[in-house]
Amino acid sequence: MPTMFISTFFYPMCQSKVSLVLQESPRRHAIARCDTSRSNPRISETEATLAQPSAAAQGGTAPLVQALKSTAAQDVSCFHFPGHNRGKAAPSSLSNLIGAKTFSHDLPELPELDDLFYPKGVILDAQNRAAELFGSSKTWFLVNGSTCGIQAAVMATCSPGDYIIIPRNCHISAISALVLSGAVPKYIVPEYNSAWDIAGGVTPSQVDKALKELEKDGKKVGAVLVTSPTYHGICSDVQGIVDVCRPLHIPVIVDEAHGAHFRFHHSFPGTAIEQGADLAVQSTHKVLSSLTQSSMLHMAGGLVDADKVSQCLQLLQSSSPSYLLLSSLDAARAQLSENAKSFDEPVAMALETNDQLLVIPGLSVLDLSCFASDFPAIDPLRITLSASGLHLYGYEADDILEEHRIVCELVGTQAVTFAVSLGTRRQDVQKLVQCAKHLSEKYFSAKESRCRKHNFVCSPLDKFSVKLSPREAFFTKKSRVCIEDSLGKICGELICPYPPGIPVLIPGEVVTQDSLSYLINVRDQGITISGAADGELNSIMTLRVHLVKEELAVKLQDDAKIEVGSMACGLLTACPICIGCDSELDHPLQFVHLFKVFQEYVARLPKQLGFITGWLSARNKAHHKQ
């Protein structure tokens, strides 16, 4: 079968020739800081040496890689896991594909390979070198992706019932962190560009406003979580957000999954740690060169308890971590340490490509001018292209590019995103530009006669109604309903198109007309939906508390339906007795509770609503007679 030449612009980014996983590189070049003008306001003079790579971090030595190599070379009789016994029983279909040597290095936590959760040897050495290179006071290696890093960061800073300020366009891992921790979200809505169907970052003023609102209500804030950069490379003012939170001693967590490379070129934005963040989670496997699923969690300052972070990671990661993943993190760090100019060529290619695409008729490239907010930076390695000037949606443009063997990272309704990395070749970007020109030549002259085939609905990012915390909703009993009949009900599952993995409905939110229309629209276009029990999205899971709201509402006059209906729903969802009932209004204790709680509320309501007490009292007596 002939090999097809395909230009790829997606993760993973270890397309470059890197002999790192199984061999130690012979080179020992010291790395020079790419941007010495950067400063970290969180690192004291005592800790300043951590911001500059030490001699150990500067060299290309990868201690964990070397230990794995030495251990695999031992001539021993093995009676330990895994069952393929260092490749002796490796399945041929896979060993023929990736090589038997990979299996011989797939080893468990042997004494000479250290312990991920209690590191004292080569893992500790590798993590310390990573901390020095990335400018943190402590770094943890992650084998369950950035997802477990986000979850651990939230669990380590927020107790059940604490509020966490979080952007509404957060990744699904942040929502799962709320379920695990019991933290209650205070959402802030990022600026949204409907023409691009893309959300930007959040601003310090938004965070400040949310903090003041929670303080006014007497709520305890456990942390602030920021996504910077976004999938499209938009960066928030992390430094400004830190300045807002620091006087209140509120830790700042940054989902920096897409920004692991920021420290290694002067053209890149400053890292979250450099800007004063307490915790930053990076996907080392994205733009850098470690294996998929491997990430790092960085910490700076003393506001967060490092031991608690370690405990949370032990809860969330496998007790049998893959040493191929762990060693790939060490190898990626060594690769960056040995070459200070690693990103010179990728940056040059990305900037040239961006300039060439800008002058092609009918095409547009996302930049900071697309947003009214003063976002500080955009990742130069992320190129987001719109063909709306050719009357093409993002999915249509992507289909055409795929015919020319161009594979992107992310497809949206209005745009296509390409990720340039260490492994991107110059012929790849040249091919992308040529295909973009072909796209323009074919469709630009005919755009007036073409009509868009579909009517995509804009993302309802700012149109949501929260009735329960994600944790409460997750553990509440649910029913499956046809999606067309879900309007007004409370969603019981996380539903989001993937990529980019930004939720449209979160457990505990009301299914609104906007969210319903958007989901039906993307479903009909064949877009992958993540999180829903029904992958085809013909039905969704909703909470059983909805019917109580409806039954109460029909008893009220029209002008009082919304106020009392929503109030009833709010009371019910806060009640463990009501949530635990198998059917609405069938449990005597449920009526007793509602009757008592409503008495307190009705005393503060207008007199015309006083008949609710009578109605509940009658129902309560009827149940007692049964």
At residue 459 the predicted structure's pLDDT band, cuts being 50, 70 and 90, is confident
Distances (CA, A) of 462 to 183, 197, 204, 369, 397: 21, 13, 18, 21, 27
Of 531, 418, 449, 414, nearest to 179 by C-alpha is: 531
Neighbour count for residue 524 (Cβ, 10 Å): 10
DSSP result, 382-438: EEEEE-GGGT--HHHHHHHHHHTTEE-SEE-SSEEEEE--TT--HHHHHHHHHHHHH
* Mean per-residue pLDDT, 181-190: 96
Q: Which residue has the tokens 């503060």?
A: 604
**pLDDT surpasses 50 at 566:** no
Question: Can you tell me the distance from the alpha carbon of 305 to that of 278, in angstroms, rounded to the nearest whole number?
Answer: 10
Rounded CA-CA distance 75/454 in Å is: 63
At 85 the pLDDT is 79
Q: How confident is residue 584, by pLDDT bands cut at 50, 70 and 90? A: very low
In degrees rounded to 5, what are phi and psi of residue 295? -145, 180
Orientation angle between helical segments 63-72 and 122-134, nearest 10 degrees = 150
Contacts of 416 (CB under 8 A, 6+ apart): 384, 385, 386, 387, 394, 397, 398, 401, 408, 410
263 vs 450, which has greater pLDDT?
A: 263
pLDDT in tens, 411-420: 888 999 999 9
CA distance 572 to 577: 9
Give the contacts of 103 (CB within 8 A, at least 6 positions apart): 84, 86, 87, 90, 95
In this prediction, residue 18 carries a pLDDT of 39
Kindly indicate the confidence band of residue 12, based on its pLDDT and cuts at 50, 70 and 90: low
The 10s digit of each residue's pLDDT in 314-365 is 999 999 999 999 999 999 999 999 998 999 999 999 999 999 999 999 999 9
In the predicted model, what is the mean pLDDT of the chain?
82
List the Cα angle 466/470/473 in 5-degree steps.
Answer: 90
Give mean pLDDT, residues 437-448.
81
The band of 601, judged by pLDDT with boundaries at 50, 70 and 90, is low
C-alpha–C-alpha distance, residues 142 and 120, integer Å? 17
Which tokens hold the place of 270?
């400053």
Share of the chain above pLDDT 90, in %: 60
Q: Is the pLDDT confidence value at 390 over 50? A: yes
pLDDT tens-digit profile of 110-160?
999 999 999 999 999 999 999 999 999 999 999 999 999 999 999 999 999
* DSSP, residue by residue, 61-118: --HHHHHHHHHHT------SSSTTTTTTT--HHHHHHH-HHHHHT-----GGG--SSS
pLDDT given for residue 589 in this prediction = 44
Average pLDDT over residues 598-608: 55
Instruction: Give me the pLDDT at residue 204, please.
Output: 98
Q: What is the mean pLDDT of residues 95-124?
A: 92
Q: Which of 169, 172, 166 lies closest to 460, judged by CA?
A: 169
